[in-house]
Amino acid sequence: MAKKKVIFMCTAFRDGFQSVYGARVFTPDFLPAVEAAREAGIDYHEAGGGARFQSLYFYCNEDAFAMTDAFREAAGPEANLQTLARGVNVVGLESQSSDIIKLHAELFKKHGITTIRNFDALNDVNNLIYSGQCIADAGLHHQVCVTLMELPPGCTGAHDADFYEQTLREILDADIPYHSVCFKDASGTAVPAKVYETIKRARQLLPDGTFIHFHTHETAGISVQANLAALEAGADAIDLSLAPCSGGTCQPDILVMWHALRGTKYDLDIDIEKVRDAEEVFKECMADYFLPPEATAVEPMIPWSPMPGGALTANTQMLRDNGIMDKYPDMIKAMGDVVARGGFGTSVTPVSQFYFQQAFNNVMFGPWERIAEPYGQMVLGYFGKTPVPPDPEVMKIASNQLGLEPTDQPPLERNDADPEKGRDAAKKLLDAEGIEATDEHIFIVATCGDKGMDFLKGDAEIGVRKIEKQDDAPVPVADGAAEYKLQVNGKSVRVQIDGNIATVNGTTYTVDIEDTVSTQASTPANAEPVSAQMPGKVIRILKHAGDQVQAGEAILILEAMKMEVQITSPNAGTVVEMPVNVGDQVSNGQTLAMVG
């Protein structure tokens, strides 16, 4: 009896990078692995989009469009290259206007992409109608999604087979042009029995011959079982990956799934030895990258979060950047309550990031003391309709803190009326900087904001975490000397201080060290310190020494965990000191200003 061929997409170079390295990978480092995968006969790849768009500008000082061009060259002209889109949010956390959504599809087509998988984290079909039309109009294969997860134990009200069937019916009723359908479980928590029932119903509901794709992660330890359930229910394709970006927070490895299908009626139809060779090439490519331990293991507590694999390491990388990785277990625990009270949007970016940002705030500031702006906007309806109504108390807190009323206005309608969104707004910013307003530049600024502009101006920073190589001959430290290891613009610097002698990477200097606090005698006695309540990076200074401020008025903006956090004055008065500068990384509790 002939076996049924299982089609698979290799996610190693997109979701794999996001789920292991927080999407922070330099393009030249992995292209040899793409070429090796091509030699192994793998011709269907996830090649960009999602977090791998913004991350290249935020952390790699690279252009995402140049990356997809290079990917196409390495993968070959016949490869099916797929990217990930977030409905009206396209490739960012913020929703966009119609012209940017249209530009997204056109540019990805221009730069070598053939398929776009398009989802809405709230399963609000209104957010898929125009974005899906643009993808199809651009001549791309549109793979429309229903997003899945398991609710935290004890929660009911959505995310069952009935809910997913209803969502699919709404997609069909909306007459969205599509070429295939994906059931996407980014957290890997949807139990196999529900996966089976959902896809079985979809197969009955969809026209004969409709291509059904299933996506999951190994984070909760059930990905192989879920893939098998999907195949038994009638799915045509699944997602698999290559080591070292497989298992753990990623998709199951191609070798693992090949092994699991042995003796069944299914076959991946691959040359397994060539795949093994490709994995060895890929491992060598990534040998210098820091491999987070949480990326390699199943996390039994994920069903209580639920934290998607693609967001887990992105967030732990940011926690490491800010020196607060010790808070991670508390944030994972807090996330369950945030999901339960937030309206049951699927835990996939951008909603998973909203959940984590609010869990972060609940841990750092106290439960519900500070609403993360995107989370608050979500529960108030600014990203679309949540599967169930959010908790009324949380909605009230969000409304009061953000100064927003609940809305049922579609995001696309609101964004099209916003003069600060769209092509014209982006072009105005580019013109002000003297940068050519190409379609690519307009899209980069619209979706990446200030960091996109920094890239275009040549001011982007590097935030790729690689393994630090130890010096062959460590510099001896004299008795009583203090030794520090610093990260300066992504590079490791060793500094030793012994009296008035400073040694920097082996070079010795004579220095004068003063206590800055004791020398500031001019500070008024009644001046109040303005302290950082979380670690972060100073991105904007709103007030300077000598400026008058009111109590509660913002004096600077920190960026932390992809949030912009206003730092406000505790009292009215005059800013007498501002000892920080734009670009400074500050620690929790650090004095940022003095107001007297």
Of 565, 574, 564, nearest in space to 532 by CA: 565
Asked if 315 contacts 23 with a C-beta cutoff of 8 angstroms, the reply is no
The per-residue pLDDT for range 419-448, each reduced to its tens digit, is: 999 999 999 999 999 999 999 999 999 999
Q: Which domain CATH number covers 530? A: 2.40.50.100
User: Which residue intervals of 27-76 are DSSP H helices?
Assistant: 27-39, 51-58, 64-75
The per-residue pLDDT for range 360-415, each reduced to its tens digit, is: 999 999 999 999 999 999 999 999 999 999 999 999 999 999 999 999 999 999 99
Identify whether 99 is part of a domain: yes
Enter the tokens of residue 298. Answer: 């199943």
Identify whether 112 is part of a domain: yes
pLDDT in the model for residue 583? 83
d(CA 144, CA 87): 9
572 lies in which domain range?
525-595
Q: Say how many domains are in the chain.
A: 3
pLDDT band with cut points at 50, 70 and 90 for residue 478: very low
d(CA 390, CA 378): 9
pLDDT in the model for residue 91? 97
Model confidence, pTM: 0.85
Query: For residue 205, how many other CB atoms are within 10 A of its CB?
Result: 13
Enter the tokens of residue 138. Answer: 């651009």
The per-residue pLDDT for range 105-138, each reduced to its tens digit, is: 999 999 999 999 999 999 999 999 999 999 999 9
Of 294, 369, 370, nearest in space to 332 by CA: 294
Whether residue 516 is predicted with pLDDT greater than 70 in this model: the reply is no
187 and 215 inside one domain: yes
Mean pLDDT of 158-176: 97
pLDDT band with cut points at 50, 70 and 90 for residue 233: very high
pLDDT band with cut points at 50, 70 and 90 for residue 94: very high
Which of 148-162, 214-228, 269-283, 388-402 shows the lowest mean pLDDT across its residues? 148-162
Mean pLDDT of 496-515: 62
Enter the tokens of residue 507. Answer: 């070079």
Burial of residue 27 (number of CB atoms within 10 Å: 0-12, 13-18, 19+): buried
d(CA 284, CA 525): 60
541 and 489 inside one domain: no
474 and 553 inside one domain: no
d(CA 525, CA 527): 6
Whether residue 55 is predicted with pLDDT greater than 70 in this model: the reply is yes
Mean pLDDT of the chain: 91
Enter the tokens of residue 170. Answer: 């709404």
Domain's final residue, options 276, 297, 318: 297
pLDDT band with cut points at 50, 70 and 90 for residue 99: very high
503 and 529 inside one domain: no
> Could you identify the residue written with the tokens 């206005």?
409
Query: For residue 117, how many other CB atoms are within 10 A of its CB?
Result: 24
Q: How is the beta sheet containing 507-510 ordered, strand by strand?
A: 482-488, 491-498, 501-504, 507-510
472 and 560 inside one domain: no
Whether the bond between 177 and the residue before it is cis, its omega within 30 degrees of 0, is: no
CA distances from 9 to 37, 237, 261, 292 (A): 12, 8, 16, 24
d(CA 537, CA 368): 23
477 and 542 inside one domain: no
Enter the tokens of residue 486. Answer: 């610093």
509 and 551 inside one domain: no
Domain's final residue, options 274, 297, 320: 297
User: Which residue intervals of 434-572 are DSSP H helices?
Assistant: 439-457, 516-519
Mean pLDDT of 296-321: 83
Q: Which domain CATH number covers 197? A: 3.20.20.70
pLDDT in the model for residue 518? 43
Asked if 355 contacts 342 with a C-beta cutoff of 8 angstroms, the reply is yes
36 and 97 inside one domain: yes
78 and 49 inside one domain: yes
480 and 583 inside one domain: no
103 and 151 inside one domain: yes
The per-residue pLDDT for range 575-584, each reduced to its tens digit, is: 988 899 988 8
Cα end-to-end distance, the chain, whole Å:
84
Domain's final residue, options 486, 513, 540: 513
pLDDT in the model for residue 520? 45
Enter the tokens of residue 384. Answer: 């679309």
Identify whether 497 is part of a domain: yes
Identify whether 357 is part of a domain: no
